[in-house]
Amino acid sequence: MNIWFTNHINAIGNALGQFRRSPGHFFFNILVLAMTLALPFGGITLLDNIQSVTRQLSVSPETSVFLKADTSPADAAVTEQSITRIFQEENQNIELVFIAKDAALQSLQKKTGLADVVDSLGSNPLPDSYIIRLKDSTDSRNLSTQIESAATQLQKIPSVDKVQVDSDWTKRLAALLSVMRMGLLFLAIVLSVVVIVVTFNTVRLQVLMHLDEITVSWHIGASRAYIRRPFYYMGIFLGLFSGIIALVLIDLCLYPFNTVIIELAQLYGSSFQLTPLGPLVSAILLAGSAALGWLGAILSVNRQLWKIN
């Protein structure tokens, strides 16, 4: 076990020594990789912030039920029982709010610029209505289907004039997020190939520079693992350092963006701003970038050793 640790520590020291001996060469390679990784990292940061906002929003669309103008209080009470029963059959716990037409008219009159218009109408044209909100709902794929099924049944109640479900925006948002995820996945795959290729060429140059040493080591009995190990760590460090710089670049870019976003959000009464990725997601991205560097090193070293044989 001690020999195993010693071999890996020596390989790590050898790899870091290569960085110290050619700092300019490795710096520009790491910078290229960092700029490449910054694109998917930035997309992941944006998507993570958007998803955090959507989780704060109500994923359960409200359903408005408008009663017919000639509905009596007794019929309205029966309608309320029917609404409750329909949602119970859908296994949904609801909050049911009754809005009288007089209260709806007063609310309309309070809106800026509409008081004179409402007064000119003479009689109250607004109907009694119910607002239905789901309690303890989750963002499930069946939620929209359940709401639409309930809305169809609500429309069949004799005293109901119109049922309005505001679920379109949730569907559009879910579709937009799906498109963003697919585009980000495609971008990540393409740029991962770029990272592997750049690492492949960087390690390949280092192998060629030390080809004589490798050949001598090979002929005096050095194992394949002994020869490969320093270059593997070189690829890992290339990916890891590039990932760290990419995350730092993304975090630095958030500050100028937030100055504009905060001003825009305040116009809508919101305090939204972009936040950096959490420690867990950042660690996963760094592990992924290190793995890409390691894969590029594997392909490069094995190809060069095959040529020596």
For residue range 179-216, list pLDDT tens digits in order: 877 887 887 888 888 888 888 887 777 777 766 666 66
pLDDT of residue 39: 85
How many other CB atoms sit within 10 Å of the CB of residue 48?
Answer: 15
pLDDT of residue 124: 66
Rounded Cα distance between 169 and 173, Å, is 6
Rounded Cα distance between 106 and 118, Å, is 9
pLDDT of residue 113: 52
Which residue ranges of the chain lie beneath pLDDT 70? 1, 4, 7, 52-61, 105, 108-125, 135-145, 166-174, 210-223, 267-270, 304-305, 307-309
User: What residues are paired with 63 via a beta bridge?
Assistant: 132, 165
Q: Which residues contact 51 (CB under 8 A, 6 or more apart)?
A: 177
Q: Which residues contact 41 (CB under 8 A, 6 or more apart)?
A: 243, 246, 247, 250, 277, 285
User: What residues are paired with 160 via a beta bridge?
Assistant: 67
Rounded Cα distance between 30 and 18, Å, is 14
Residue 49 identity: N
pLDDT of residue 226: 73
Tokens for 38?
């910054």
pLDDT of residue 217: 64
pLDDT of residue 58: 47
- Residue by residue, DSSP assigns 179-247 as HHHHHHHHHHHHHHHHHHHHHHHHHHHHHHHTHHHHHHHHHTT--HHHHHHHHHHHHHHHHHHHHHHHH
